[in-house]
């Protein structure tokens, strides 16, 4: 699991401040902040005239494991941060960037050098004291030295990073020890030059900007005895749907997934403490609390932002929003053959199996409705209309609805329950978990198979049958990695792979295919509005405590056993949508998800969605992780102006309301426009289009310049949808599967010809017995009522 900070935004006004501290080991006078919960201490020292450098000190209570990270801004998107951790009897640290899967920051003018006397680990704690050269940039990635008071962030993990011997090789586990924000005072000292002179790149911990060593000559790859008509790389929503539809053709299909099983029915065993027959992914209410669950291994470790690496992909780690796409989501920017009239039949096929619901509880009741009561009355007073978002997907202006969730039978739904069992019932289908696809194996324009890596690090090539096809479905954060590794994409990115340390075998440079892989990266930014209820509406704004979802009482456990109650709901209590026409002639849409974090408080997360014009670029590092070359959020003036206008309209209405009042009297759209987090709803990095000049795949989803390589996931979407991406990804997958099947195959086989997959190979094949149907909690489930 990754160092995940993508959902974190801090309010500077509530930070505790720093105090003076003289470090006896180094003689450096710091301004130091101590976090009362984790015990983490961070100190900072600067010269009398602050320019671009500072000295920092991270002190973490530890028994030899864990790590600490200090962000140089309070907002983690695009921020630089210093990470440090104990490694046996030394400390390793460095400067990183990338708010989900951090990579060493390699700017030649910016570096971290440890100060030996203040860098050590003992039986009780670790200390990392360092000179950060060039780190005060005054940009969005760091703080400015022109103000006396700055705002920073921190995260603590109790588990050591994997490969902890150097900054360049380490992969960080989830920050389960705590996180938050704090304030620091920059107090300059004339002694700073003397202190800075004690820094040395050769001291304990070394420089954080080390480069990796190419391991290509040390990599051994075997060849599987099995071949397939179709190989699908990635068992997220798109991959599962495509694989199941391809299976219906009678041809042999192999579905590969780098992560583990998820739901209990598929063999997952990350069960909740109160019921050992459902996993944390099965229980809808846990969707808001997965980062605090006992198992946090569900996220990718090699992606630029949050992505699910387990069976079901993002549908297992999201908050269950199932926003059926509106007509404009396709008609505005999708090419011919992909307008709403073209894909509507695919949508109906999806909805017949995976419909979504605004009323998931089997007893027909809605629970914990304080936030809905308050916000619906507020919106109604503004003249907005109440709709059913499932039945009225084209109603997206000044409307609100009970949340549309992907929940069925009281459990998290999605293709893992609605498509995968159908595929597993077919003898021509195989699923292999913990099998990461590294690259498509190419012979010029023809794809002959894929190279994979197992959880043990073993590598193997799995070949296609004659006329076979490979479908990449790793998602917008991962499919570009496979394309880069296959010699497809911008030359600079492929060159990074070539000189990197992943040991990937690239085609000859003459066979590289220059396509805009990683371009057109788009995402939904999220802005948070918090309101207090007025005394008149306080009675309608009660809310359940978080502990009632993570450690529920027997009444709610009993209801869940009947597919009912608050545990059978996700965390949102109301959704709203609206739009406005911008000066550039584009209609921009907004979505809101509302809940109540505490009694008397209503929180709205406002998304800028369809019509947003900001875009970024995704690239790859020498260690094989994807990273943001350009951040995709809020980088056009028109997007900023639209957000300011919309947020002000809500805030101004609240100031004149008898139901809700803004928690901050000074909050405005202008003050909030920079305080956003990523929606992790990424699209566009292998965009579909009519020409290889501006697209990666054609309208059959085939990669330009190849004969039989396809991409079907959010990366091919040319535009952002009006709501969360899960439903539209599934609709596109249904339509794409039909497109691929319509191309036919030159294979002479007309019926399944199945060789047992991975015969004499080391790749694990997961085919759980008696798990072809989802486990539904019922009164007859042996432990559903008693195990709490």
Nearest-angstrom CA–CA distance, 68 and 462: 40
CA–CA separation, 492 vs 516, rounded Å? Answer: 11
- What's the CA gap between 506 and 493, in Å, rounded? 12
Structure tokens at 182: 């704090």
Neighbours of 363 (CB within 10 A): 14
Distance CA 462, CA 233 (A): 12
Strand partners, 157: 67
Residues in the chain: 788
CA distance 505 to 486: 8
Q: Going along 552-616, which residue ranges are E strands?
A: 574-581, 587-598, 601-608
The SS3 assignment for 424 reads: helix
Residue 62 in 3-state DSSP? Answer: coil
Q: Is the dihedral of CA 211, 214, 218, 222 positive or negative?
A: positive
Instruction: Tokens for 477, please give them.
Output: 């954060």
Q: Are strands 525-533 and 120-121 parallel, antiparallel or unpaired?
A: unpaired
Q: Which two tokens stand for residue 259?
A: 């992560």
Strand pairing category for 399-401 and 407-408: unpaired
As a whole number of angstroms, the distance between CA 290 and CA 262 comes to 12
CB-based contact 544:552 (threshold 8 Å): no
Continuous segment of H or E residues that includes residue 224? strand 221-233
CB-CB neighbours of 544 under 10 Å: 16
Question: Per the structure block, which two tokens stand in for 431?
Answer: 């699923």
* CA distance from start to end of the chain: 27
User: Up-side HSE of residue 635: CA atoms within 13 Å toward CB?
Assistant: 15
Distance CA 264, CA 267 (A): 5
Which residues have CB under 8 Å from 545's CB, separation 6+? none
CA distances from 446 to 442, 482, 715 (A): 6, 16, 22
**Cα 193 to Cα 115: distance, rounded to the nearest angstrom:** 13
Strand ranges for 332-476 from DSSP E: 385-386, 399-401, 407-408, 411-412, 429-432, 435-443, 446-454, 459-472
Q: Is 681 a catalytic residue?
A: yes
Say which residues have a Cβ less than 8 Å from residue 474's Cβ, sequence separation at least 6: 233, 234, 236, 239, 437, 481, 482, 713
Structure tokens at 593: 């998800």
Whether the Cβ atoms of residue 121 and residue 205 lie closer than 8 Å to each other: no
Give the rounded distance of the alpha carbon of 49 from its chain centre.
Answer: 40
What are the structure tokens assigned to 239, written together?
Answer: 């991959």
**Cα-Cα-Cα-Cα dihedral sign, residues 744, 749, 754, 760:** negative
- Cα 79 from Cα 96, distance rounded (Å): 9
Residue 560 dihedral angles phi and psi, to the nearest 5°: -60, -35
Phi, psi (rounded to 5 degrees) for 180: 170, -165
Please tell me which residue in 33, 175, 610, 681 is annotated as part of the active site: 681
| Rg, C-alpha atoms of the chain | 26
DSSP alpha helix (H) spans, 334-427 = 340-353, 370-381, 415-418, 420-424
Cα–Cα nearest to 57, from 131, 128, 147: 128
Token representation of residue 210: 């080390």
Active-site annotation, residues? 681
């Amino acid at each position: 699991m990754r160092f995940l900070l993508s959902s974190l935004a801090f309010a500077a006004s509530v930070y505790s401040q720093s105090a003076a501290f003289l470090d006896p080991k180094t003689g450096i006078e710091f301004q130091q902040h101590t976090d009362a919960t984790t015990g983490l201490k961070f100190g900072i020292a600067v010269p009398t005239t602050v320019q671009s450098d500072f000295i920092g000190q991270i002190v973490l209570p530890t028994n030899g494991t864990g790590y600490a990270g200090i962000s140089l801004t309070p907002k983690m998107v695009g921020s630089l941060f210093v990470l440090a951790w104990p490694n046996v009897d030394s400390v390793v640290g460095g400067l990183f960037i990338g708010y989900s899967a951090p990579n060493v920051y390699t700017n030649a003018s910016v570096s971290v050098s440890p100060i030996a006397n203040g860098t050590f680990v003992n039986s009780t704690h670790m200390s990392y004291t360092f000179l950060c050269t060039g780190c005060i940039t005054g940009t969005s990635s760091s703080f400015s030295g022109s103000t006396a008071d700055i705002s920073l962030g921190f995260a603590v993990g109790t588990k050591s990073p994997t490969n902890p011997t150097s900054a360049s090789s380490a992969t960080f586990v989830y920050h389960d020890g705590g996180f938050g924000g704090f304030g620091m005072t920059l107090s300059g000292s004339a002694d700073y030059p003397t202190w800075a002179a004690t820094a040395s790149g050769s001291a304990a911990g070394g420089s954080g900007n080390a480069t990796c060593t190419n391991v290509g000559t040390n990599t051994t790859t075997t060849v599987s005895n099995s071949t397939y008509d179709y190989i699908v790389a990635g068992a997220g929503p798109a991959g599962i749907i495509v694989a199941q539809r391809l299976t219906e053709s009678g041809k042999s299909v192999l579905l590969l997934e780098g992560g583990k099983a998820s739901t209990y029915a598929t063999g997952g065993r990350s069960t909740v403490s109160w019921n050992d027959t459902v996993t944390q992914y099965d229980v809808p209410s846990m969707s808001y609390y997965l980062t605090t669950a006992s198992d946090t291994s569900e996220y990718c470790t090699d992606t630029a932002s949050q992505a699910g690496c387990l069976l079901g992909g993002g549908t297992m780690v999201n908050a269950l929003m199932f926003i059926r796409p509106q007509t404009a989501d396709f008609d505005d920017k999708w090419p011919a053959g992909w307008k709403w009239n073209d894909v509507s039949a695919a949508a109906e096929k999806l909805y017949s199996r995976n419909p979504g619901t605004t009323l998931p509880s089997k007893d027909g009741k809605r629970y914990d409705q304080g936030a809905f009561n308050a916000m619906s009355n507020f919106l109604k007073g503004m003249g907005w209309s109440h709709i059913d978002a499932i039945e009225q997907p084209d109603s997206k202006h000044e409307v609100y609805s009970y949340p549309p969730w992907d929940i069925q039978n009281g459990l998290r739904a999605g293709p893992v329950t609605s498509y995968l069992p159908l595929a597993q019932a077919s003898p021509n289908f195989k699923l292999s978990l913990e099998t990461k696809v590294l690259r498509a194996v190419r012979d010029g324009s023809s794809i002959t198979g894929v190279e994979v890596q197992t959880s043990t690090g073993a590598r193997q090539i799995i070949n296609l049958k004659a006329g076979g096809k490979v479908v990449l479905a790793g998602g917008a954060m991962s499919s570009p990695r496979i394309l880069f590794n296959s010699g497809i994409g911008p030359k600079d990115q492929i060159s990074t792979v070539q000189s990197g340390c992943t040991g990937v075998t690239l085609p000859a440079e003459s066979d590289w295919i220059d396509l805009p892989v990683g371009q057109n990266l788009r995402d939904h930014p999220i802005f948070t509005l918090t309101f207090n209820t007025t005394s008149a509406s306080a009675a309608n704004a009660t809310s359940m405590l978080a502990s009632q979802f993570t450690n529920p009482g027997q009444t709610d456990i009993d209801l869940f056993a009947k597919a009912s109650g608050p545990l059978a709901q996700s965390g949102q209590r109301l959704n709203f949508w609206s739009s406005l026409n911008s000066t550039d002639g584009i209609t921009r849409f907004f979505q809101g998800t509302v809940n109540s974090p505490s009694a008397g408080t209503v929180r709205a997360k406002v998304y800028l969605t369809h019509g947003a014009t900001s875009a970024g670029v995704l690239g790859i590092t020498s260690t094989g992780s994807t990273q943001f070359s350009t951040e995709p959020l809020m980088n056009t003036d028109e997007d900023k102006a639209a957000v300011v206008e919309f947020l002000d309209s809500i805030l101004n209405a609240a100031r004149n309301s008898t139901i809700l009042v803004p928690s901050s009297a000074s909050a405005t759209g202008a003050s909030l426009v920079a305080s956003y987090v990523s929606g992790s709803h990424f699209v566009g990095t292998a965009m579909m289009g009519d020409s290889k000049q501006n697209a990666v795949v054609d309208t059959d989803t085939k990669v330009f310049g190849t004969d039989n390589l396809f991409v079907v996931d959010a990366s091919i979407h040319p535009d952002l949808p009006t709501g969360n991406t899960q439903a539209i990804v599934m609709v596109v997958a249904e339509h794409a599967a039909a497109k691929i099947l319509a191309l036919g195959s030159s294979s002479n086989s007309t019926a399944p010809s199945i060789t047992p997959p991975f015969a004499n190979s080391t790749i694990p094949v997961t085919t759980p017995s008696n798990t072809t149907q989802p486990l539904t909690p019922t009164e007859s489930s042996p432990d559903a009522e008693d195990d709490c």
